[in-house]
Structure 1
């Protein structure tokens, strides 16, 4: 359910013992105290472990973490080749060439990219060559076509189109107007990488350039940690899918769309499940059906104390509750927005589940603080957190914050000026303000107000 109110802060009783490392705390643990943001995050990260490596085809490996060193099997480029359209020559044959006194060479053939059999360039001869084509034997450099008359019958650079099949372009002459040094306009074999070089080290995240390099050295498959599969489920009988008409008391389901997009932005493969009504059996059945394709499940709504907050009821018996350590712990955090939270594991495979509040801002802030790090931990990444900077608060008034709670305000960060400006109010329903923010302004627990000009911590989410 998309609850619209979060309970007021309660007195903080003596701290309970920390949960056992490496797994979520037991069901029911922590319900009688306020958890700090750091404690809740530590509990999540202690239970989330990198996914096992698998071998993937290159197109499917984008965004994944490489778990093996990849060495170069053969030099790249594998042969000396031309970086220009022009003529392959011996340097002695064009020494001293000028516009007035050009070097006149006999064309012995054409060399196109992909050519196998190559003509030999001897004294007084040349081969017409295309960009990327192998340098023929005897040639020492390439003269760009712009430095020539284009060859007999051409007279311009447009004459460089290669000969057709069976016609090697032999015969005719070309006048060359400038000299060249040895190796001019030649890409040397192995000038990019050499055989045996380390192409990519384990721990590299595979983006487009890395995928391109792997393809260039002939690797069609690589061993990586896969992108986690994240299932997003929103709850609430009042939710309607965008594009459908609204009835009385209904609102559009925005949380599942925002969370699915955020999960993909974090690197996951995300699946959005349409809003589930406030019925414990329906929600329980929906979650159990999703376990087969989930490495992580995220729910939104129904984690507070309302009469129709059925997530707690549903999750108390979802999956195989007899599995040791399985279960969901619902707790209150000393933060705003996002005080009510749930975390644990479900089913025989102990799939991690994070239950987030229903208010749009509470939901998204909770994702940034807790779900995004969990996704990136599943990917095996070391850098799991958003960048954090210090900035000067540019505000026209003093900002208040509940004592004892860490507050996260939406803001617009100006890197050049080193300032951050609040965007919108503090209400956890103000989704429009969130759409115009690229940062979260952090007001620590020990501060009840922050004035203009104060240096604050800023989490960059843009």
Structure 2
């Protein structure tokens, strides 16, 4: 058997990042940025008011001031101001060059209701520059706004747009074909006869691929005879796929259709992990990455998490390919294995913020459907007891 890290390293060595493409920043959320974004302009681009109120000059005590201008956001006015003058100003408007501070409406006698009549300031500014956002105080033109290799969130694209950048270079979504194997499979909801089961792996794996940021371009199934896997690869290539994920047909049985038909394209290994020991990986002549995962749904999902998801993220150039991991106490004991790493779906009790608890889910797909993370139990001869902490990848 080989280690999980060895199998993953083989996969990642075969990944070649997708070519970047330009995209309007407003349409780039969820994609991976392929270049550092530097601010095109100062943010803010001028000294601006941080409050609705009155711009004042050299005011250090309560006073009645003459209002000389009204400055809404977007104005380009820059009125002259002498000591004893004020300009009514709204948040985001340019502060007059002569002004030294802004007094919020609530620090005046009549606030907004006073209009352009003389204003009574009842609380003087605490210091020069009060409530003024200075030009470039957020970021200066040419400074880094977002680094390369990160997935663009709403907050990140907002920062990019605010810095005056309208187009970014990002990776497109990786395109995935999902192929379930097995002569026993029928469509979910179809009538079952003895020996047949609903086909669920393609639905599960397609959903996991989409949750990882990929685009599913083909979802199909093939039986355990003939050259179905090769035909599926051809269909995936025609659909523009970058990755083909097979489930089933990779173990040691007599009807392992993926292993039996794709031995020239894929290597099949036993990996020191539970669940998911049988694994296959290779590359088609046209460049498609080929994954062979076990047929058991939980095994397939865990295998996807450990091997396919990092590959999809690496295709996009994502520098954060792995899930966030935290140490969490086990709510119950767990039988260790000395020969392999165990990956255990768990639910998480967060009722005590100071100490979370992880509870293994019930076996099978129904229990797996409640999982909130994947606990990693490294090889050890000592069984774990309640209260022992383990690393949990959060879903």
TM-score when normalising by structure 1 = 0.73
Residue 268 (structure 1) shift? 3.0
Structure 1 residues 130, 281: CA separation in 2 closer, same or farther (over 3 Å shift)?
A: same
SS at match of 1:191: coil
Residue 78 (structure 1) shift? 0.6
1:298 pairs with 236, 245, 248, which one? 245
The 1-side partners of 2:150 and 2:384 are apart by 43
The 2-side partners of 1:389 and 1:214 are apart by 30
Structure 1 residues 131, 445: CA separation in 2 closer, same or farther (over 3 Å shift)?
A: closer
- Please list the CA deviations of residues 197-223 of structure 1 after superposition, one character each: whole Å capped at 9, or x if unmatched: 233344444332221121111111223
2:12 pairs with 45, 52, 63, which one? 45
Quick check: 1:264 aligned with 2:206?
no
2:112 pairs with 148, 153, 157, which one? 157
- Please list the CA deviations of residues 274-325 of structure 1 after superposition, one character each: whole Å capped at 9, or x if unmatched: 4445564555333312224222221222323555543345546xxxxxxxxx
1:443–1:456 CA contact under 8 A, matched in 2: no
SS at match of 2:295: coil
Query: Aligned residue for 2:302?
Result: 365
The 2-side partners of 1:68 and 1:364 are apart by 32
SS at match of 2:362: coil
1:144 pairs with 91, 104, 120, which one? 104
- Please list the CA deviations of residues 153-201 of structure 1 after superposition, one character each: whole Å capped at 9, or x if unmatched: xxx53677xxxxxxxxxx6433333322432221111111123323334
Query: Aligned residue for 2:81?
Result: 121
The 1-side partners of 2:340 and 2:54 are apart by 74
SS at match of 1:399: coil
SS at match of 2:106: helix
Q: How does 1:438-453 map to 2 (within 5 A)?
A: 438-444=372-378, 447=381, 450-453=383-386
Residue 272 (structure 1) shift? 5.3
Q: How does 1:23-172 map to 2 (within 5 A)?
A: 34-92=1-59, 95-97=60-62, 102-105=63-66, 107-150=67-110, 157=112, 172=117
SS at match of 2:103: strand
The 1-side partners of 2:114 and 2:202 are apart by 59
The 1-side partners of 2:269 and 2:178 are apart by 20
SS at match of 2:178: strand
TM-score when normalising by structure 2 = 0.83
2:336–2:380 CA contact under 8 A, matched in 1: no
Query: Aligned residue for 1:14?
Result: none
2:46–2:94 CA contact under 8 A, matched in 1: yes
- Uncovered stretches (5+) of structure 1, i.e. residues with no partner: 1-33, 151-155, 161-170, 317-325
Q: How does 1:311-390 map to 2 (within 5 A)?
A: 311-313=258-260, 315=262, 327-348=265-286, 350-387=287-324
Structure 1 residues 394, 136: CA separation in 2 closer, same or farther (over 3 Å shift)?
A: closer
Query: Aligned residue for 1:399?
Result: 335
Q: How does 1:184-195 map to 2 (within 5 A)?
A: 184-195=130-141
- What is the aligned-residue RMSD (CA, Å)? 3.3
Residue 133 (structure 1) shift? 0.8
- Please list the CA deviations of residues 26-73 of structure 1 after superposition, one character each: whole Å capped at 9, or x if unmatched: xxxxxxxx4443332232222223333333332444344444333333
Structure 1 residues 174, 37: CA separation in 2 closer, same or farther (over 3 Å shift)?
A: closer
The 1-side partners of 2:288 and 2:77 are apart by 59
1:298–1:354 CA contact under 8 A, matched in 2: yes
Structure 1 residues 298, 461: CA separation in 2 closer, same or farther (over 3 Å shift)?
A: farther
Residue 455 (structure 1) shift? 4.5
Quick check: 1:200 aligned with 2:138?
no
The 2-side partners of 1:52 and 1:70 are apart by 18
The 1-side partners of 2:243 and 2:316 are apart by 12
Query: Aligned residue for 2:366?
Result: 432
2:64–2:118 CA contact under 8 A, matched in 1: no
- Please list the CA deviations of residues 379-421 of structure 1 after superposition, one character each: whole Å capped at 9, or x if unmatched: 334443345566554426x6365x6444333334568446543
The 2-side partners of 1:53 and 1:313 are apart by 37
Higher relative contact order (CA 8 A, sep 6+): 1
1:228–1:379 CA contact under 8 A, matched in 2: yes
